[in-house]
C-alpha cells in the first residue's frame, strides 16, 4: 500500500520528487518533510536493498529505486505465511553522525525467525551491511537531531517462486526499506490505557517467539477492537493458563514493583524484544534496580506501582491503567508518568541519540558513503 497522504499527520511529499532515479545521497534534510508532524506511516524513500536466494545461495544484493516487488502468484509468502521481518531504527546524533541501535540483535533474531520457518539465514554481516547501505542512501529522510524522529528500517525475508504445495519455497527475497518516523509521543511522554484481550496472539508452542507475519495477522482484530473501545492497544495473556501477562500487540511489557524491582514477563511465546533486553540491562546497571524476567500475574497488578510497554516503535509507552474484565486497574497515575519509567525512557533514548554513553557494542555508526 502506498500512503503519501496527509492523513494522521503524515507529510505531503510530491511523488514527482520520489519517482525515477534517486538523487545523490546527501546529509541535508528533506525539504518537504515537516519533521514536527511526522507520524508512523508509509513514505516512499529513495532506495531500498534487495537480494535473491537462488540455487542454494544468496546472490549479491543491490539498491533499487523500485518499491514494487514482482513475485510469483504461487509464492509461499502469499499463501502459507512463509515470511519474517525486523524493525530497527537509525538516529541522527548531536554531532551529526548516525547511530544504528543494536542491529546485531535484530540480525540474530531474524536468523532465528528464518530457522523457524525453514528459510535460509541471512548472515549478520549481510544484514548489517544492507541496513548501512539503506540508511546511507536515504540520509535526506533521516530526521534531524532534536526533532525526536528517526529512520525506521524494515528488513524482511519472503518465500517466493512458482509453487503450490505446502512446502518451503524454491526461492527467497531478502529486502530492507526505510522510512522516517516521528516521535511516539508528540506532546511528551504520556500514559496510555490498555485492555486485556480475550484472544491469543500465539500458541504455547507456536511461532510467538518468531517475528513472523502470522502472529500479526492474528493480532489485527484484537487491536482493532481495543482501539474501538478507546484503548491504546490490547495486552495478551499466556495462551496456556490465561493468568499471566505475555505482551502487547507490538511491544513487550514491564512493571515496577513497590520495592523498585523491574519485572518483565518470561515466556517462550513472546517476541524477545531488543528494547526489553536493553531495559533489563539499563535498569540494573544504570538505575541500580533489581531487574528480572518472571511472571506477572493479571490478578496481582496491585504489586506494581508502574507499568509500561516497550519496543522499537513504542519506545517506552507508560501504561496508565489496564482494563481486565470489569476491573480497571490504575498504576502510578492514569495521567502522569511514574519516575522509574521516566528515567528508563531518558536513559534509553539518551543512548539511542548518543547523548548518554552507550554500553559497549550497542551503537553501530552508519558509514556515510
Ligand atoms: C509482538 C512484539 N513484541 C515486542 C516487540 C518489541 O520488540 P523490539 O524491542 O525488538 O522492537 C515488537 C516489535 O518489534 C513486537 O512486534
CA of 198 to the centre of ligand 1 (A): 20
| Position 9 pLDDT exceeds 80 | no
Give the pLDDT confidence of 197-219 residue by residue, as tens digits: 999 999 999 999 999 999 999 99
| Predicted confidence (pLDDT) at residue 239 exceeds the cutoff of 70 | yes
Please give the torsion angle defined by the CA atoms of residues 220, 221, 223 and 225, in that order, rounded to the nearest 10 degrees.
Answer: 160
For 28-54, the pLDDT digits (tens) are: 678 889 999 999 999 999 999 999 999
The Cα 198–Cα 237 span in angstroms is 8
> 247 C-alpha vs ligand 1 centroid, how far in Å?
9
**For position 73, what pLDDT does the model report?**
98
Most ligand 1 atoms within 8 A of CB, residue of 154, 222, 275 to mutate: 275
Indicate which residue's Cα is closest to atom 2 of ligand 1.
Answer: 250
Q: Smallest Cα–Cα separation from 359: which of 277, 298, 266?
A: 277
Distance 21 CA to ligand 1 centre (A): 34
Residue 142 pLDDT greater than 80, yes or no: yes
Mean pLDDT, rounded, of the chain? 92
Active site residues: 211
β-pairing verdict for 262-265 and 291-294: parallel
Say how many Å lie between the CA of residue 255 and the centre of ligand 1.
16
Give the C-alpha separation, 10 to 43, whole Å: 9
pLDDT band at 369 (very low <50, low <70, confident <90, very high): confident
Pocket test for ligand 1, best of 86, 103, 273 (most atoms within 8 A of CB): 273
Distance 270 CA to ligand 1 centre (A): 9
8 A C-beta contact, residue 63 and residue 49 = yes
Nearest CA to ligand 1 atom 4: 251
- Ligand 1 probe mutation, 84, 87, 264, 348, most atoms within 8 A of CB: 87
Q: What is the pLDDT, as a whole number, of residue 156?
A: 99
What pLDDT score does 28 carry? 67
Pocket of ligand 1 (CB under 6 A): 87, 247, 250-252, 271, 273-276, 311-312
- Is 2 a residue whose pLDDT tops 80? no
What pLDDT shows up at residue 29? 79
SS (H, E, C) 186-230: CCCCCCEEEEECCCCCCCCCCCCCCCEHHHHHHHHHHHHHHHHCC
Quick: pLDDT tens for 305-342: 999 999 999 999 999 999 999 999 999 998 999 999 99
pLDDT single digits (tens) 146-201? 999 999 999 999 999 999 999 999 999 999 999 999 987 776 799 999 999 999 99
Ligand 1, atom nearest to 277 Cα: 9
**How far is residue 7's CA from residue 153's CA, in Å, rounded to a whole number?**
22
Task: Return the residue whose CA atom lies nearest to atom 13 of ligand 1.
Answer: 250
Give me the percent of the chain exceeding a pLDDT of 90: 88
CA angle 67, 73, 78 (to 5 degrees): 75
Q: What is the pLDDT of residue 183?
A: 83
Q: Is the pLDDT of residue 24 over 60?
A: no
Closest ligand 1 atom, CA of 106?
10
Beta-strand pair 192-196/315-324: parallel
The 10 Å Cβ neighbour count of residue 257 is 16
The pLDDT of 97-115, averaged and rounded, is 98
CA of 108 to the centre of ligand 1 (A): 14
14, pLDDT greater than 60: no
pLDDT confidence bin for 59, thresholds 50/70/90: very high
The fraction of the chain above a pLDDT of 70, given in percent, is 92
Tell me the Ramachandran region of residue 288: left when phi exceeds 0, alpha when psi lies from -120 to 50, beta otherwise.
Answer: left
Furthest-apart CA atoms within the chain: distance in Å: 58
Amino acid at each position: 500500500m502506498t500512503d503519501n497522504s496527509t492523513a494522521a499527520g503524515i507529510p505531503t511529499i510530491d511523488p514527482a520528487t520520489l519517482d525515477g532515479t534517486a538523487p545523490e545521497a546527501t546529509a541535508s534534510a528533506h525539504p518537504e518533510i515537516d519533521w514536527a508532524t511526522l507520524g508512523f506511516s508509509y513514505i516512499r524513500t529513495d532506495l531500498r536493498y534487495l537480494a535473491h536466494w537462488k540455487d542454494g545461495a544468496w546472490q549479491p544484493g543491490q539498491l533499487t529505486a523500485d518499491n514494487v516487488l514482482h513475485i510469483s502468484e504461487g509464492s509461499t509468502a502469499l499463501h502459507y505465511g512463509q515470511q519474517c521481518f525486523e524493525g530497527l531504527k537509525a538516529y541522527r546524533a548531536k554531532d551529526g553522525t548516525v547511530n544504528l541501535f543494536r542491529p546485531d540483535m535484530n540480525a540474530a533474531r531474524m536468523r532465528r525467525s528464518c530457522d523457524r520457518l525453514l528459510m535460509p539465514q541471512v548472515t549478520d554481516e549481510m544484514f548489517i551491511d544492507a541496513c548501512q547501505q539503506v540508511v546511507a542512501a536515504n540520509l535526506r529522510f533521516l530526521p534531524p537531531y532534536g526533532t525526536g524522529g528517526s529512520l525506521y528500517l524494515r528488513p524482511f525475508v519472503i518465500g517466493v517462486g512458482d509453487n503450490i504445495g505446502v512446502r518451503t519455497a524454491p526461492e527467497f527475497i531478502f529486502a530492507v526499506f526505510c522510512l522516517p518516523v516521528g516521535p511516539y509521543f508528540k506532546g511528551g511522554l504520556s500514559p496510555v490505557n490498555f485492555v486485556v484481550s480475550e484472544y491469543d496472539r500465539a500458541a504455547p508452542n507456536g511461532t510467538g517467539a518468531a517475528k513472523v507475519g502470522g502472529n500479526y495477522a492474528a493480532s489485527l482484530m484484537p487491536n482493532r477492537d481495543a482501539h474501538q473501545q478507546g484503548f491504546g492497544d490490547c495486552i495478551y495473556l499466556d495462551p496456556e493458563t490465561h493468568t499471566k501477562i505475555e505482551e502487547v500487540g507490538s511491544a513487550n511489557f514491564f512493571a515496577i514493583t513497590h520495592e523498585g524491582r523491574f519485572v518483565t514477563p518470561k515466556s517462550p511465546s513472546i517476541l524477545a524484544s531488543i528494547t526489553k533486553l536493553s531495559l533489563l540491562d539499563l535498569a540494573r546497571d544504570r538505575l541500580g534496580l533489581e531487574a528480572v524476567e518472571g511472571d506477572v500475574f493479571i490478578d496481582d497488578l496491585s504489586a506494581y506501582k508502574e507499568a509500561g510497554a516497550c519496543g522499537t516503535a513504542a519506545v517506552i509507552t507508560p501504561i496508565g491503567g489496564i482494563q481486565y474484565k470489569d476491573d480497571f486497574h490504575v498504576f502510578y497515575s492514569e495521567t502522569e508518568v511514574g519516575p522509574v519509567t521516566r528515567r528508563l525512557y531518558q536513559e534509553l533514548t539518551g543512548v539511542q541519540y548518543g547523548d548518554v554513553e552507550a554500553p559497549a557494542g550497542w551503537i553501530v555508526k552508519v558509514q556515510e558513503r
